Structure 1
Amino acid sequence: MTGTAPAHPIRNARFRAILLTRLFSALTGGFYNVPIMWWVLEETGSGAMIASVGLVSALAGLIAAPIGGVLADRWRKRLLIQATYVVDALLLVLMAALVLSGQLQVAYVFPLLAVTSFVAALRGPASSVLVPLTIPREVYQQGNAMMSLTGSLASLSGYALAGAATGFVGVHGALLIGAGLLVGAIVTLATVPEPTVAPTATAEGEAPPSEGLRAGLRVIWSNPLLFWTFAVSLLLNFVLIPLEVTLAPFARSLGVGAREFGFLSASISVGQLVGMLLLSTYRVPRPWLALVGGTFGIAAAIAGLSVAATLEQALALLALAGLSAAVMNVQLSVVAQLHIPHAVMGRAFGVMTSVSSAVQPLGYAGAAALLAWLPLQSIFLIIGGLLALAAAAWLHPTLKVGFEKPMVSPATD
C-alpha cells in the first residue's frame, strides 16, 4: 500500500458515465412533472388537483423504496436501473400519445404518475449503491458532492427547459423529449460494468422481502454512529419543511413582496450549490468536524432569522443555512456508505429513503400547527434549538470515535 492519494473521481471513466446518467435522469424530472402538471391545471383549473397528483407520487415512492433496496442487493444493480428507465420512457411515450390523440383523462394521470414514481423509487437504492462500489472510499465525499451538484443543477435547469419546451412544442412534445433523455441515460449506463459485491451471511439465500428489510434495519440499529446519522437526517427533513413553509409569511413580515419571497427561497439553493461545489473539489480532512460545524451552522442561521430585520440579512442567513445543509447532506451520505456493508447497502438505503419520505407529511402538519399557534420568531428559535441539540450530540465520544472505524473495505477503480 502506498501513500499516494486516490485520484479525483472525475478521472474514473465509470464514475463519469454514472455522473452523465445522473444528468440525463435529473433533467427528465422536469419533462414529466412540468407538462403533466400544466395539463392537469389546464384541464381542471384546480391547484388542489395538482397537489393531489404530487401526493400520489409521494405515496408511491414511500412504498417502493424498501422494495427497491431488496432488489438492489439481490439483483444486478445496473440492469435494475436500466429496466426502470425503460418503463419510465415507455410511460412518457404513452402519455404523449394519449395527449396527442386527445384521449388522456385526469383519471389516467394518477395511476400513470404513481407507476412512474414507483419505478423511480425502485431504482433509488441501486443508484445510491453504484457510487460507493465504483470509487475508493477516500474520495466518497467528492463523488457524492459531484453527484448532488449535477443532480441539483440538472433539476433546476430541467424544470426551466421543460417549461420552455411545453410552451414551444406542447405537452406531448415535452413528454417525448423526456423519453429521449431517458434513452440517453440507458445508453450511457450500459458502458458501466456491473459492480460485484462479496456476499455476506445476511445477504445469502432467498429470504423473503420482509427479512431483507429487517436486515437493513438491523445494520442501522446496531451501529450507534449510523443510527444517529439516520436520526439527524430525519430531523433535518422534519425541521426544514417548516422552514420552507414559513418563508412566504416571513417575506411579508419583512415588508417585501413576491419577488423578494422568490429570492429568499432561491438563496437556500444558492448556498447548497456553493457548498456542493466546494465539497466536490476540496476533500474535508475531518468529516466529524464538518458535521458538527454544518449542524451548528444551520442551527445558528435559522435561529438568526428570528432577529433578522432586513432582506439582506435574511438572504445571507438562508444562504448560510443552505451551504451548511449541503455540507451535512454530503457528509451524512459518506458516513452511511462507509459504515454499511456493501451486501446490505441497498436495503439500508431503501429503509432510510422510505422513512425519510414518511417524515415529510409530519413536517408539513407540524408547520401548519406552528404557524397557527406561534409567531415566526418563535418558530425559527424552536427549529434552531432542535438542530443545536442534534449538533451537541455529535460531541459524544462514541460517535466521534466511530468516524475513525469504517466497517467496509475500500472500493476499487
Structure 2
Amino acid sequence: MPQTTPHPLAHAWRALKHRNFRLFFAGQSISLIGTWMTRIATSWLVYRLTHSAVLLGTVSFAGQIPTFLLAPFAGVLVDRWNRQRVLVWTQALAMLQSLGLAVLTLSHHINIAEVLALSIFQGCINAFDMPGRQSFMVEMVEGRDDLSNAIAINSSMVNAARLIGPSLAGLVIAASNEGWCFLIDGISYIAVIASLLAMRLPTRVLAAASKSESTMVTQLKEGWNYVSTFPPIRNILSLFAVNSLMGWPFVVLMPIFAAQVLKGGPHTLGFLMGALGVGSLISAISLVLRKSVRGLLKMIPVAAATFGVGLILFGFSNNLWLSMALLLLTGFGMMQGLTASNTIIQTIVPADKRGRVMSYYTIAFVGMAPFGSLLAGTLANVIGAQHTVIVSGICCILGSAWFFTRMPYIRKHMRPIYQQLGIIPTANVAELEESSAS
C-alpha cells in the first residue's frame, strides 16, 4: 500500500489532534469575538459618557488592578484546584458581568460608577481565569510536545477575534448603542462553557505541595523565590512588565485617536483595532508554522523593538490609512513578544509550579497595565495622546536594548533544561549559544 506524504504544513495545526483542545478552540473562537466587542464598547461608552482621557485610564485601571493584587494568591489556588472547574466558574461569572452591563446600558441607566464597579468585578474574575487558562493548556494537549503549537494557535484565535470583534463592535455601536455588544458577549460565553463541560480529562495529579501541610504563604514564597531567582523567567517577565506598563496601555487611548486625531467615530475605532488585530494575527500565524521553540528567545527583544518603533511612528501619524498600516507593525511586534515569552515560560517551568508562575506572568501581562493605563491617561491629559504614545515607544525600545545584553546569561541557564527536554541534543552543548537558537 503506497504511503501518503504528509503535507509540508501539517505540523502547523498538530495541537488540534487533541480532542479537548479542539473543543476549547471551537468554544473560545466564538466567545472571544464577544469579549473584544465588549472591550471596544466599554472604552467607547466611557468616552461617550465623560470625554475624559483620565477616566478612560481610570476605568482600565479599575478593571486590571484586582488582577495585580489577587493573581499571586490565585496562582496558588490554581495549583491546588481542578483547573477545568475553575475555568467553568470564571466564564460563568464573566457572562453575568457582561449581561449586567447589557441590561444597564440598554435600559439607559448606565453611569460611570457602575462601569467602574463592573470593571472591578471582571478584574477579580481575570485574576483566576488567566493563570487557570494558561496552566490548563498543557492538560488539554496532554504533554509538552505540542504545547508551543497550542499556544501559537491560541494566539491566532485571540487575534482573529481581535480583528472581527472590534469591527463588529464599531458597526453595532454606530447602528444602535454599546448595550447590544455587551449582550452579544454575554450570550457568547455559552459556547466556551459548553466546550469546557464536554471535555474528558484524566484526573490531574495535584502538586505535592498542595497535598502536604504547606500553607498558602509558604507556597507563595516558593513561587516568588523561583520566579525572582531563575534568570530566564525573571528577565523575560521583567521585559514583559516594562512593555505592559509603558507600551500596551496605548490601546486605552484609541478612542482619542479615533475621535480627535483622526476626526472619526466608532467605526474609525473599529478600523484601528482591526488593523492592530491583523498585525497580531499575522504574527501568531507565523508562530503556528514553527516546528520548535528553538529560536524564540531572540525574537523577544526584536519584537519589543518592533513594537516600540510602531508606537513612535503611529504617534506621529494624522492619516487614517497610514495609522492603520503602522498599527499592523505595532500589532505584529506586540504579539511576537507576548507569544514567544509565553511559549518559553510554559516550556521550561516545572509542572508543580505552573499555576504560580503563570500568575506572575498574569501580573506582568495584565497587572502592570492598570498603572500604565493611569499613566497613559494622565500623560495624555498633559502632553496629548500622540506624544504619550511616542514616549511609550521609546521606553519599549530601551527595554529591548537591555534584554539583548542579558541574553547570553539567559541562554546559559536555559540550555540544561532544553537538553533535558530533548529540544537540543545533549552532546552538542555549544549549539544553543553558537546559533542563538534558544
TM range (shorter): 0.7 to 0.9
Q: Percent identity, please.
A: 19
Report how far residue 126 of structure 1 moved: 0.7
Q: How far apart, in 1, do the equivalents of 2:129 and 2:82 lie?
A: 11
1:134 maps onto 2:162 in alignment: no
Using the size of structure 2 for normalisation, the TM-score is 0.73
The alignment's C-alpha RMSD in Å is 4.5
Q: How far apart, in 2, do the equivalents of 1:249 and 1:40 lie?
A: 11
Correspondence for 1:275: 283
1:78 maps onto 2:90 in alignment: no
Q: Secondary structure at the match of 2:417?
A: coil
**Residues 183 and 213 of structure 1, relative CA distance in 2, 3 Å threshold:** same
Q: 2:333 aligns with which of 324, 329, 332?
A: 324
Structure 2: give runs of 5+ residues left out of the alignment. Answer: 1-5, 423-438
**Residues 199 and 13 of structure 1, relative CA distance in 2, 3 Å threshold:** closer
Report how far residue 278 of structure 1 moved: 1.1
Greater mean deviation of Cα atoms: 388-397 or 372-381: 372-381
1:67 maps onto 2:79 in alignment: no
**Residues 317 and 183 of structure 1, relative CA distance in 2, 3 Å threshold:** closer
Correspondence for 2:348: 339
Q: Confirm or deny: 8 A CA contact 2:279 2:331 kept in the other structure.
A: yes
Q: 1:123 aligns with which of 121, 125, 129?
A: 129
What do the CA deviations read for 1:373-396 (whole angstroms, capped 9, x no partner)?
998999488436513423423432
Q: Confirm or deny: 8 A CA contact 2:223 2:356 kept in the other structure.
A: yes
What do the CA deviations read for 1:298-338 (whole angstroms, capped 9, x no partner)?
56767888999x99998777644543332222121111112
Q: Secondary structure at the match of 1:218?
A: helix
Greater mean deviation of Cα atoms: 85-94 or 31-40: 31-40
**Residues 146 and 46 of structure 1, relative CA distance in 2, 3 Å threshold:** same
Report how far residue 81 of structure 1 moved: 0.7
Aligned amino acid, residue 245 of structure 2: F
What do the CA deviations read for 1:359-411 (whole angstroms, capped 9, x no partner)?
3354456666698599899948843651342342343244345145159979x
**Residues 180 and 409 of structure 1, relative CA distance in 2, 3 Å threshold:** farther
Greater mean deviation of Cα atoms: 141-150 or 394-403: 394-403
Q: How far apart, in 2, do the equivalents of 1:280 and 1:211 lie?
A: 38
1:353 maps onto 2:365 in alignment: no
Q: How far apart, in 1, do the equivalents of 2:96 and 2:70 lie?
A: 19
Q: Confirm or deny: 8 A CA contact 1:72 1:126 kept in the other structure.
A: yes
Using the size of structure 1 for normalisation, the TM-score is 0.77
Report how far residue 268 of structure 1 moved: 4.8
Q: 1:395 aligns with which of 386, 390, 407?
A: 407
Q: Confirm or deny: 8 A CA contact 2:163 2:275 kept in the other structure.
A: no
Report how far residue 55 of structure 1 moved: 3.0
**Residues 83 and 340 of structure 1, relative CA distance in 2, 3 Å threshold:** same
**Residues 8 and 104 of structure 1, relative CA distance in 2, 3 Å threshold:** same
Q: How far apart, in 2, do the equivalents of 1:149 and 1:330 lie?
A: 10
Report how far residue 200 of structure 1 moved: 4.2
Q: Secondary structure at the match of 1:131?
A: helix
Q: Confirm or deny: 8 A CA contact 2:79 2:354 kept in the other structure.
A: yes
Q: How far apart, in 1, do the equivalents of 2:285 and 2:244 lie?
A: 22
Aligned amino acid, residue 21 of structure 1: G
Q: Secondary structure at the match of 1:283?
A: coil
**Residues 69 and 198 of structure 1, relative CA distance in 2, 3 Å threshold:** same
**Residues 402 and 171 of structure 1, relative CA distance in 2, 3 Å threshold:** closer
Q: How far apart, in 2, do the equivalents of 1:187 and 1:212 lie?
A: 33
Greater mean deviation of Cα atoms: 318-327 or 344-353: 318-327
Q: 1:17 aligns with which of 15, 20, 23?
A: 23
**Residues 301 and 186 of structure 1, relative CA distance in 2, 3 Å threshold:** closer
Q: How far apart, in 1, do the equivalents of 2:50 and 2:316 lie?
A: 38
Correspondence for 1:114: 120
Aligned amino acid, residue 231 of structure 1: S
Correspondence for 2:152: 145
**Residues 97 and 401 of structure 1, relative CA distance in 2, 3 Å threshold:** closer
Q: How far apart, in 2, do the equivalents of 1:316 and 1:139 lie?
A: 33
Correspondence for 2:433: none
Report how far residue 20 of structure 1 moved: 2.1
Q: 1:192 aligns with which of 177, 181, 199?
A: 199
Q: How far apart, in 2, do the equivalents of 1:300 and 1:399 lie?
A: 26
Greater mean deviation of Cα atoms: 266-275 or 313-322: 313-322
Greater mean deviation of Cα atoms: 176-185 or 283-292: 283-292
